[in-house]
């Protein structure tokens, strides 16, 4: 069966949580509709948890932690291997869930959202084989031990991808987890809980509670038996979680907002890098915290950049996400759609040059949360569209006169999550990358690397995900002096 809603309904999962190795009814009676953004129709209904559900899940994770944290790395790797295989085996089911819950174009869900999510599980498994959980420095042993019970809060824009980016390394480290996915895109999370169960995950090691951030998220952040909380979301949400977690002094890892620059150096091959830059900015409809939505280009090549950007954005096919030929589906939810429309209008009011797109629905779309891929040029760095995270298919082109000015523009933001640099002279590109205050920099559109650590400077958060560094976030360090005398 490839219909995720029918599958979850027949299995009795939609109104239940996965706690202590079993599917359980919620403690309360609150429910929430799952909205298909292509039609704005309710397609399913899920249960919303409360503090009692959180209590049960945390207690289960606490009970499971001593035994799970003492398992051999090979045993944890074997579980991750089974989960990885099951996710790939159910690729079509996951892909259709992503299309239904957040509007991902089906082809993009199949070729990016699901396979990249599976890669995080593979990386976590592989890193276990060589990770030095115990090392020596002279006569002192350095032990790296699982931090404990971890609460994982994941967003609506990359639902499955962010789940595996957290669950994989947390379990690899020997932690037990309570997952709170976004209530706006919960279907893929329920399918993932099924996978964990069928892979033979020990009871209490993985738990799932759906719910709203101010209820379930806050209960997890304040819970004294939660040792760490990892959140991917808006900077505002990250601040609230950190404040709630502070009294219990738990570790807080945050992957938050971004306004990433794409610095196009004077010697860059525009015919190659501008289409790639536009595509990167509007990947997943621009609903990516690291999307390079500020394209910083030489002023004397601005006209050429505009022409290339317009041609690229105009070629996108926005529409029904279930159609194979669609490149971009709808915006994931009404609140985000309304924000994008408002920011496009602000850009026009601020005096930015509208190259293509604009407010309103794309041609051929009469309903649904569809946005027009929009490109602004002649953008000043003090404009709202150059400073605020729009989280939609909106690109701002900012001209510069010198490379030094380009670097200043790139760093003129409260965020510091990602960045791109394009240039034929690789040494110059490397020097520019070294001066950009961001946690990850892409030189000349490289392939995605799941081993590359990902995280932010400034208000983009703290801590790192992906690769070996992602697993290290879930570990404590213990020094044992006199270990070898």
Instruction: Specify whether the CB–CB gap between 433 and 410 falls below 8 A.
Output: no
Alpha helices in 357-475 (DSSP H): 384-387, 403-411, 426-435, 467-472
Judge contact between 288 and 392, C-beta under 8 A.
no
CA distance 5 to 211: 18
Burial of 30 by CB count in 10 Å (0-12 exposed, 13-18 middle, 19+ buried)? middle
The catalytically annotated residue of 101, 289, 306, 465 is 289
Residues 6+ apart with CB under 8 A from 213: 153, 180, 233, 237, 240
Considering the candidates 218, 255, 306, 465, report the single residue annotated as catalytic: 255
Q: Which CB contacts under 8 angstroms, 24+ apart, belong to 22-28?
A: 22/203, 24/56, 26/50, 26/53, 27/52, 27/53, 27/56, 28/52, 28/53
- Rounded CA gap, 294 and 415, in Å? 12
Active site residue 175: no
- 255 labelled catalytic: yes
As a whole number of angstroms, the distance between CA 41 and CA 360 comes to 20
Triad 356, 323, 372: Cα angle to 5°: 15
* 460-465-467-468 Cα dihedral, nearest 10 degrees: 110
With CA atoms as reference, report the closest residue to 289 among 101, 157, 408, 437.
Answer: 157
Supply the residues annotated as catalytic: 255, 289
């Amino acid at each position: 069966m490839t219909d995720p809603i029918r599958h979850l309904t027949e299995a009795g999962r939609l109104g239940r949580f996965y706690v202590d190795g079993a599917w359980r009814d919620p403690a309360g009676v609150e429910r929430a509709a799952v909205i298909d953004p292509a039609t704005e129709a309710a397609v399913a209904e899920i249960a919303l948890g409360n503090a009692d559900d959180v209590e049960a899940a945390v207690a289960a994770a606490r009970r499971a932690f001593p035994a799970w944290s003492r398992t051999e790395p090979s045993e944890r790797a074997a579980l991750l291997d089974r989960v990885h295989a099951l996710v790939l085996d159910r690729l079509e089911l996951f892909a259709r869930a992503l299309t239904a819950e957040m509007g991902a174009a089906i082809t993009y869900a199949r070729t990016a959202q699901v396979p990249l999510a599976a890669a995080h599980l593979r990386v976590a498994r592989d890193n276990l084989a060589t990770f030095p959980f115990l090392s020596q420095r002279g006569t002192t042993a350095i032990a790296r031990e699982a931090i404990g019970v971890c609460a994982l809060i994941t967003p609506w824009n990359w639902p499955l991808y962010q789940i595996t980016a957290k669950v994989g390394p947390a379990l690899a480290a020997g932690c037990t987890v309570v997952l709170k996915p976004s209530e706006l895109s919960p279907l893929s999370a329920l399918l993932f809980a099924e996978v964990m169960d069928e892979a033979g995950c020990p009871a209490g090691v993985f738990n799932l509670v759906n719910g709203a951030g101010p209820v379930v998220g806050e209960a997890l952040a304040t819970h004294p038996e939660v040792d760490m909380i990892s959140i991917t979301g808006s900077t505002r949400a990250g601040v609230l979680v950190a404040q709630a977690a502070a009294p219990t002094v738990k570790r807080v890892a945050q992957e938050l907002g971004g306004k990433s620059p794409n610095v196009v150096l004077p010697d860059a091959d525009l015919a190659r890098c501008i289409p790639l830059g536009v595509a990167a900015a509007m990947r997943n409809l621009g609903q990516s915290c690291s999307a390079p939505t500020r394209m910083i280009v030489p002023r004397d090549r601005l006209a050429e950049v505009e022409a290339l950007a317009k041609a690229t954005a105009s070629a996108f096919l926005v529409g029904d996400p279930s159609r194979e030929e669609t490149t971009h589906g709808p915006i994931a939810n009404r609140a985000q759609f309304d924000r994008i429309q408002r920011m496009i209008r602000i850009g026009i009011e601020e005096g930015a040059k509208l190259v293509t797109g604009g407010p309103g629905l794309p041609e051929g779309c009469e309903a649904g949360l569809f946005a027009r891929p929009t490109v602004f040029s002649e953008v000043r760095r003090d404009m709202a569209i150059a400073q605020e995270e729009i989280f939609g298919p909106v690109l701002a082109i900012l001209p510069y006169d010198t490379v030094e000015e380009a670097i200043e523009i790139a760093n003129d933001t409260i965020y510091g999550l990602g960045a791109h640099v394009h240039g034929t002279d690789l040494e110059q590109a490397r020097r520019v990358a070294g001066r950009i205050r961001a946690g990850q920099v892409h030189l000349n559109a490289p392939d995605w690397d799941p081993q590359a650590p990902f995280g932010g400077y400034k208000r983009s958060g703290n801590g790192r995900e992906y690769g070996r560094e992602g697993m290290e976030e879930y570990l404590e360090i213990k020094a044992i002096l006199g270990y070898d005398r």
